[in-house]
Structure 1
């Protein structure tokens, strides 16, 4: 076990219950510098900015692809936007040619009929919903698995769960709906949510617009994260 691992997993016992201990003295005894609160928060700020920018660019691209498909001849029965593994683009083909130039090196990952593509790529359509829902799951995972534990260490807090952020508590509940309830808002949302209560009503499908993302960024409690 490495020095850092031994620090992260060091425990003490109270009533025979093992609990993690995170003390400045431990870091000093090992000749190490504890995480800096400002550095952790700055990295979190960059992660939030990058994640929102990524989903915003992806949402904007939906309109571009929809317009491109609209311009294709309507008498073509099948138009497959085929996503090729290892390629960072979507190729619009009229035929599904097994002897095409990419057939030996790439595997078609997906394909839609022209009408399906236009429907799924529409604003507030399937892909639009998927992008927002995936952002919820991905950003909450970053907070829960990376930044919350690091911030707890930087602030000298023994348990990461002791850092309470109502905004991210609401995001956790939205993640639950996406993963465990087919993205449908449950009846307990008005009672359980706090900061984002007005975003949805019971029975709604979880869907994030640009307005939601901007508001989430504006509501982020940077000062409170630094602690007293």
Structure 2
């Protein structure tokens, strides 16, 4: 029988629990960093573009494509009206809602193979590897994918520790939910305090290393 392998090429059977936990923490930290930086980028883009082009009609279209804007061969990939971009990319806009729902779905897809690896390292059936915060996120993921993004009694209503949305409410994950998710994990995937030499630069959450 061929042994299962991890992304690094090591067999699952040879991994220790600590090694798998480190892989889980890295996966969670990476997923959050990508999502939060993308969210901050949308917010910055909306504010910056409005400041640079304050007189552009809100009915004008903004195109984003694969290639340079001046290249006739550039393939348009995204198109939004200026007013929609400024509104949806601003803090609390629907663009952030879409982004963080994608985060929840992707995180669950990445968690399942790591859960199998953790079970193998512990020598237990995968069903015995349970993490309440990740189990709750799976319930929200189910409603995002199968219930049009609205919390249901059968899934979101069964959350144990992340009681974010009541049945019938739209699932609208924001950065406050991400903090609660981190705090509910049994591992410190992201430090709970700023490292020494790092300070907040302004109210938009930008930081600088001193």
Q: What is the root-mean-square deviation of aligned Cα atoms in Å?
A: 2.5
C-alpha distance in 2, partners of 1:34/1:116? 52
Matches within 5 A, 1:102-121: 102-104=71-73, 106-121=74-89
State the match for 2:195 in structure 1: none
C-alpha distance in 1, partners of 2:134/2:175? 18
Instruction: Find the residue that maps to 1:108 and give its secondary structure.
Output: strand
Q: 1:178 aligned to 2:144?
A: yes
2:33 counterpart (53, 60, 63): 53
C-alpha distance in 2, partners of 1:168/1:38? 18
Deviations 1:144-181 (A, max 9, x none): 1x201111111112x31221222211111100111111
Unaligned runs of 5+ in 2: 6-10, 189-210
Equivalent residue pairs, number = 182
Deviation at residue 129 of structure 1 after TM alignment: 0.1
Please report the TM-score for the alignment, with normalisation by the length of structure 2. 0.77
Deviation at residue 74 of structure 1 after TM alignment: 3.1
State the match for 2:2 in structure 1: 3
1:147 counterpart (114, 117, 121): 114
Give 1 or 2 for the bigger CA radius of gyration. 1
Deviation at residue 77 of structure 1 after TM alignment: 5.9
1:74 counterpart (29, 43, 55): 55
Deviations 1:19-48 (A, max 9, x none): xxxxxxxx9xxxx96221100000111111
State the match for 2:103 in structure 1: 135
Deviations 1:120-160 (A, max 9, x none): 2122222110111001000011111x201111111112x31
CA contact (8 A) 1:69 1:114 kept: no
Instruction: Find the residue that maps to 2:80 and give its secondary structure.
Output: coil
C-alpha distance in 2, partners of 1:174/1:33? 31
CA contact (8 A) 2:108 2:138 kept: yes
C-alpha distance in 1, partners of 2:127/2:13? 23
Instruction: Find the residue that maps to 2:75 and give its secondary structure.
Output: coil
Please report the TM-score for the alignment, with normalisation by the length of structure 1. 0.71
State the match for 1:205 in structure 2: 170
| Residues 191 and 178 (structure 1), Cα distance of their counterparts in 2 relative to 1, 3 Å cut | closer
CA contact (8 A) 1:185 1:202 kept: yes
Unaligned runs of 5+ in 1: 8-26, 92-99, 224-228
C-alpha distance in 2, partners of 1:194/1:118? 37
C-alpha distance in 1, partners of 2:132/2:32? 19
C-alpha distance in 2, partners of 1:169/1:136? 11
